[in-house]
Amino acid sequence: MALSGVYSNLNILFRWLHVLAGITWLGLLYFFNFVMAPAAGSSRDSEGSALGPALMARAQWWYRWSAMITLLAGLALFVMNYAYIPGVGFAPTPLLADANGITARAAWILFGMLLAAIMWFNVWFAGWPAQKKEMEGKASGAELALLRRRSYLALRTNAYLSGPMLFGMVAPAHYGAMNLESWLIAIAIGLVAVWCAFRVAPRVGRVR
Protein backbone atom coordinates (compact mmCIF):
# COMPACT_ATOMS: atom_id res chain seq x y z
CA MET A 1 0.00 0.00 0.00
CA ALA A 2 1.38 3.41 -0.91
CA LEU A 3 2.41 5.75 1.89
CA SER A 4 -0.17 8.34 2.87
CA GLY A 5 0.61 11.92 3.79
CA VAL A 6 3.00 14.51 2.39
CA TYR A 7 5.56 13.99 5.18
CA SER A 8 6.00 10.26 4.59
CA ASN A 9 6.28 10.62 0.83
CA LEU A 10 8.77 13.49 1.08
CA ASN A 11 10.80 11.44 3.53
CA ILE A 12 11.23 8.53 1.13
CA LEU A 13 11.78 10.90 -1.80
CA PHE A 14 14.64 12.70 -0.05
CA ARG A 15 16.08 9.39 1.14
CA TRP A 16 16.07 8.02 -2.41
CA LEU A 17 17.63 11.23 -3.76
CA HIS A 18 20.27 11.21 -1.00
CA VAL A 19 21.30 7.65 -1.79
CA LEU A 20 21.26 8.15 -5.57
CA ALA A 21 23.35 11.33 -5.43
CA GLY A 22 25.65 9.78 -2.82
CA ILE A 23 26.36 6.77 -5.03
CA THR A 24 27.21 9.11 -7.91
CA TRP A 25 29.45 11.28 -5.72
CA LEU A 26 31.36 8.43 -4.12
CA GLY A 27 31.57 6.50 -7.37
CA LEU A 28 33.31 9.43 -9.04
CA LEU A 29 35.46 10.03 -5.97
CA TYR A 30 36.73 6.46 -6.10
CA PHE A 31 37.15 6.62 -9.86
CA PHE A 32 39.30 9.74 -9.55
CA ASN A 33 41.38 8.24 -6.73
CA PHE A 34 41.76 4.61 -7.73
CA VAL A 35 41.66 4.85 -11.55
CA MET A 36 42.29 8.30 -12.93
CA ALA A 37 44.95 9.65 -10.57
CA PRO A 38 47.33 6.69 -10.96
CA ALA A 39 46.86 6.74 -14.74
CA ALA A 40 47.38 10.50 -14.88
CA GLY A 41 50.50 10.20 -12.79
CA SER A 42 52.05 7.81 -15.31
CA SER A 43 50.75 9.68 -18.35
CA ARG A 44 52.91 12.04 -20.36
CA ASP A 45 49.84 13.81 -21.69
CA SER A 46 50.46 17.55 -21.67
CA GLU A 47 47.09 18.05 -20.00
CA GLY A 48 48.26 16.03 -17.03
CA SER A 49 45.12 13.93 -17.07
CA ALA A 50 44.26 10.45 -18.23
CA LEU A 51 40.96 11.89 -19.46
CA GLY A 52 40.48 14.35 -22.27
CA PRO A 53 39.49 17.91 -21.30
CA ALA A 54 35.86 17.44 -22.35
CA LEU A 55 35.42 14.21 -20.39
CA MET A 56 37.24 15.66 -17.40
CA ALA A 57 34.97 18.72 -17.37
CA ARG A 58 31.87 16.49 -17.53
CA ALA A 59 33.14 14.21 -14.77
CA GLN A 60 33.93 17.21 -12.57
CA TRP A 61 30.44 18.63 -13.11
CA TRP A 62 28.80 15.42 -11.96
CA TYR A 63 31.26 15.09 -9.08
CA ARG A 64 30.62 18.50 -7.53
CA TRP A 65 26.86 18.66 -8.16
CA SER A 66 26.23 15.14 -6.86
CA ALA A 67 28.11 16.24 -3.73
CA MET A 68 25.83 19.27 -3.44
CA ILE A 69 22.62 17.24 -3.87
CA THR A 70 23.85 14.61 -1.41
CA LEU A 71 24.48 17.28 1.20
CA LEU A 72 21.19 19.13 0.70
CA ALA A 73 19.07 15.96 0.63
CA GLY A 74 20.90 14.70 3.71
CA LEU A 75 20.21 17.93 5.59
CA ALA A 76 16.54 17.70 4.63
CA LEU A 77 16.40 14.13 5.92
CA PHE A 78 18.07 15.08 9.18
CA VAL A 79 15.58 17.86 9.81
CA MET A 80 12.60 15.64 8.94
CA ASN A 81 13.70 12.74 11.13
CA TYR A 82 15.57 14.37 13.99
CA ALA A 83 14.23 17.93 14.28
CA TYR A 84 10.61 17.84 13.13
CA ILE A 85 7.55 16.15 14.62
CA PRO A 86 4.53 15.87 12.30
CA GLY A 87 1.57 17.68 13.78
CA VAL A 88 3.79 19.48 16.29
CA GLY A 89 6.41 21.32 14.29
CA PHE A 90 10.14 21.82 14.61
CA ALA A 91 11.36 20.19 17.79
CA PRO A 92 13.86 17.48 18.81
CA THR A 93 12.44 14.06 18.07
CA PRO A 94 13.03 10.92 20.18
CA LEU A 95 15.60 9.89 17.58
CA LEU A 96 17.68 12.97 18.44
CA ALA A 97 17.48 13.10 22.21
CA ASP A 98 16.06 11.25 25.18
CA ALA A 99 16.29 11.55 28.95
CA ASN A 100 20.02 10.80 28.76
CA GLY A 101 20.77 13.44 26.13
CA ILE A 102 21.73 12.89 22.51
CA THR A 103 20.95 9.33 21.44
CA ALA A 104 23.59 6.96 20.08
CA ARG A 105 21.73 6.93 16.77
CA ALA A 106 21.93 10.72 16.51
CA ALA A 107 25.59 10.73 17.56
CA TRP A 108 26.47 8.40 14.70
CA ILE A 109 24.53 10.35 12.11
CA LEU A 110 26.03 13.65 13.30
CA PHE A 111 29.49 12.11 13.07
CA GLY A 112 28.80 10.99 9.51
CA MET A 113 27.30 14.37 8.62
CA LEU A 114 30.35 16.22 9.94
CA LEU A 115 32.70 14.19 7.76
CA ALA A 116 30.37 14.53 4.76
CA ALA A 117 30.30 18.31 5.24
CA ILE A 118 34.11 18.41 5.28
CA MET A 119 34.16 16.34 2.10
CA TRP A 120 31.64 18.67 0.45
CA PHE A 121 33.78 21.67 1.42
CA ASN A 122 36.84 19.99 -0.10
CA VAL A 123 34.95 19.42 -3.35
CA TRP A 124 33.69 22.97 -3.76
CA PHE A 125 36.32 25.14 -2.08
CA ALA A 126 39.58 23.20 -2.32
CA GLY A 127 39.55 20.82 -5.28
CA TRP A 128 37.22 22.54 -7.73
CA PRO A 129 38.85 26.03 -7.75
CA ALA A 130 42.23 24.42 -8.45
CA GLN A 131 40.86 22.10 -11.13
CA LYS A 132 38.90 24.90 -12.79
CA LYS A 133 41.93 27.15 -13.03
CA GLU A 134 44.01 24.29 -14.44
CA MET A 135 41.38 23.31 -17.03
CA GLU A 136 41.02 26.93 -18.13
CA GLY A 137 44.75 27.13 -18.79
CA LYS A 138 45.24 30.07 -16.44
CA ALA A 139 48.23 28.62 -14.62
CA SER A 140 51.64 27.44 -15.64
CA GLY A 141 54.91 26.32 -14.15
CA ALA A 142 55.16 26.29 -10.38
CA GLU A 143 51.56 27.45 -9.95
CA LEU A 144 50.27 24.57 -12.08
CA ALA A 145 52.17 22.08 -9.95
CA LEU A 146 50.70 23.69 -6.82
CA LEU A 147 47.15 23.51 -8.21
CA ARG A 148 47.55 19.84 -9.09
CA ARG A 149 48.90 19.14 -5.63
CA ARG A 150 45.94 20.91 -4.02
CA SER A 151 43.48 18.96 -6.17
CA TYR A 152 45.25 15.70 -5.36
CA LEU A 153 45.17 16.36 -1.61
CA ALA A 154 41.46 17.25 -1.72
CA LEU A 155 40.66 14.01 -3.53
CA ARG A 156 42.89 11.87 -1.32
CA THR A 157 41.53 13.44 1.87
CA ASN A 158 37.96 12.80 0.76
CA ALA A 159 38.76 9.20 -0.07
CA TYR A 160 40.06 8.59 3.45
CA LEU A 161 37.18 10.46 5.08
CA SER A 162 34.64 8.45 3.08
CA GLY A 163 35.38 5.24 5.00
CA PRO A 164 34.50 6.51 8.50
CA MET A 165 31.76 8.72 7.02
CA LEU A 166 29.94 5.74 5.52
CA PHE A 167 30.20 3.84 8.80
CA GLY A 168 28.59 6.80 10.55
CA MET A 169 25.79 6.85 7.99
CA VAL A 170 24.88 3.15 8.22
CA ALA A 171 25.49 2.68 11.96
CA PRO A 172 22.29 4.41 13.18
CA ALA A 173 20.00 1.82 11.60
CA HIS A 174 22.27 -1.24 11.81
CA TYR A 175 24.59 -0.77 14.80
CA GLY A 176 23.29 1.77 17.27
CA ALA A 177 25.78 1.55 20.13
CA MET A 178 28.00 4.60 20.47
CA ASN A 179 30.90 5.10 22.84
CA LEU A 180 34.52 6.20 22.57
CA GLU A 181 35.81 2.73 21.78
CA SER A 182 33.29 2.01 19.01
CA TRP A 183 33.86 5.50 17.55
CA LEU A 184 37.64 5.02 17.42
CA ILE A 185 37.24 1.52 15.95
CA ALA A 186 34.88 2.86 13.27
CA ILE A 187 37.41 5.52 12.30
CA ALA A 188 40.22 2.98 12.22
CA ILE A 189 38.26 0.47 10.14
CA GLY A 190 37.23 3.16 7.66
CA LEU A 191 40.76 4.52 7.25
CA VAL A 192 42.34 1.08 6.95
CA ALA A 193 39.77 -0.02 4.37
CA VAL A 194 40.56 2.94 2.12
CA TRP A 195 44.31 2.53 2.70
CA CYS A 196 44.05 -1.12 1.64
CA ALA A 197 42.13 -0.10 -1.49
CA PHE A 198 45.02 2.15 -2.49
CA ARG A 199 47.59 -0.57 -1.79
CA VAL A 200 45.96 -3.56 -3.45
CA ALA A 201 45.21 -1.82 -6.75
CA PRO A 202 47.57 -3.00 -9.53
CA ARG A 203 50.10 -0.59 -10.90
CA VAL A 204 49.19 1.16 -14.15
CA GLY A 205 49.79 -1.15 -17.06
CA ARG A 206 49.69 -4.34 -14.96
CA VAL A 207 46.87 -6.85 -14.86
CA ARG A 208 46.31 -9.23 -11.98
**Number of continuous H segments (helices) and E segments (strands) in the chain:** 7, 4
Name the pairing type of β-strands 101-102 and 84-85. Answer: unpaired
- Distances in Å between the Cα of 162 and the Cα atoms of 118, 147, 166 are 10, 23, 6
pLDDT in tens, the chain (208 residues): 466 788 989 999 999 999 999 999 999 999 999 988 777 655 544 444 556 778 888 999 999 999 999 999 999 999 999 999 998 999 999 999 998 899 999 999 999 999 999 999 999 999 999 888 888 777 777 788 888 899 999 999 999 999 999 999 999 888 878 889 999 999 999 999 999 999 887 665 554 5
pLDDT of residue 46: 40
CB atoms near residue 154 (< 10 Å): 23
pLDDT of the residue at 50: 54
Q: Are 130 and 147 in contact (CB under 8 A)?
A: yes
Residue 94: the pLDDT is 95
Going through 53-206 in order, the beta strands assigned E by DSSP cover: 84-85, 89-90, 97-98, 101-102
